[in-house]
Amino acid sequence: MAKIVILTGAGISAESGIRTFRASDGLWEEHRIEDVATPEGFMHDPALVHRFYNARRAAATAAAPNPAHTALAELEADPGHEVLIVTQNVDDLHERGGSQNVLHMHGSLFGALCHSCEHRWPAPEVMSPSDTCPSCGAQATRPDIVWFGEMPYRMEEIWHALRAADLFVSIGTSGNVYPAAGFVADAMHAGVPTLELNLEPSAGRSMFDEARQGPASVLVPEWVR
Ligand code: BJW
């Protein structure tokens, strides 16, 4: 059975109407990374950070999976393949598209985390700085999101899967944020073939064995079927 590790980024959800980060109309055009995507930004102005993630949670809830998400679910359902989706995305469109083996390395909009006792629970639609942790009662709740300077989730598991893979595929990511941007090099060093599917060449394009350019809703179903 072929083991396929698939890294996805904001580009796979773009055609579902979810904004990417680094495009000219991307989220980082309107928001300073330091303000909304670092622990320091959260300590400085938790209300601002909650507003940013509340708006993105609402946008993700209103969005629907596109043909790229559903094609990956079809691939996973094929008994000839063992598929692991490692997503940098904090939306739930892979799951709603039918994928089951999904690892959210940068966390989820739909999770809340207590930074006092590290308890996790489903996030309410709207979070605010006055929310209290259902476990310890502290007024120390934050979205369960991996910010800059924090360790992405389940890295050992990801590296292990990468080394054991028969194919590594990267979809809809600019290759600017580590450690995900380093997965192509990790795969290459392990002798795993690599493929990129992206609207434009990523920062790591030259390391991929093959790269195809175009919208994910076209490229991914074409590759899967
Ligand atoms: C389409 C499309 C369509 C559009 N079809 N495609 C120097 C060297 C190495 C590392 C560092 C360094 N300095 C600092 C660091 C560390 C830092 C980092 O990488 N910084 C860089 C800026 C240099 N990384 C971290 O801090 C990470 N933690 C860490 O490193 O811990 C230590 C560690 C040590 C050792 C091992 C392991 C760890 C944490 C990073 C957390 C990232 N957080 C964010 C925000 C939180 C989540 C959220 O709010 O959603 O995650 S940043 C943001 O970028 C978000 C994304 O997941 C991430 C990646 O973005 P993505 O998905 O690639 O989106 P875009 O917009 O960049 O690209 C979209 C792409 O899609 C484009 O290419 C388009 O062409 C394409 N596209 N439409 C197909 N229709």
Domain spans in the chain, listed from the N-terminal domain onward: 1-18+65-106+152-225, 19-62+109-145
Q: Long-range pairs for 17-22 at CB < 8 Å and ≥24 separation?
A: 17/59, 17/62, 17/63, 18/59, 18/60, 18/63, 18/89, 18/91, 18/93, 19/59, 20/174, 21/174, 22/174, 22/176
Secondary structure (3-state) at 134: coil
CATH number of 1-18+65-106+152-225: 3.40.50.1220
pLDDT in tens, 37-88: 999 999 999 999 999 999 999 999 999 999 999 999 999 999 999 999 999 9
Quick check: 149 and 38 in contact, CB under 8 A?
yes
Q: Whose CA is nearest to atom 44 of ligand 1?
A: 147
Complex-level ipTM: 0.95
Give Dmax (Cα) for the chain: 51
Q: How far apart are CA 105 and CA 108, in angstroms?
A: 9
Q: How far apart are CA 138 and CA 140, in angstroms?
A: 5
pLDDT in tens, 154-206: 999 999 999 999 999 999 999 999 999 999 999 999 999 999 999 999 999 99
Report the atom number in ligand 1 closest to the C-alpha of 89. 57
Does the reported pTM lie above 0.90?
yes
Vertex 188 angle, CA 205 and 224, to 5°? 70
CATH topology of domain 19-62+109-145: SIR2/SIRT2 'Small Domain' (3.30.1600)
Report the atom number in ligand 1 closest to the C-alpha of 88. 57
Q: In one letter, which amino acid is 93?
A: L
Inter-axis angle of helices 216-224 and 67-77, nearest 10: 20
Q: How far apart are CA 65 and CA 110, in angstroms?
A: 16
Q: Whose CA is nearest to atom 66 of ligand 1?
A: 21
Indicate the top mutation candidate among 177, 196, 198 to test ligand 1's pocket, ranked by most ligand atoms within 8 A of CB: 177
- Cα Rg of the chain (Å, integer): 18
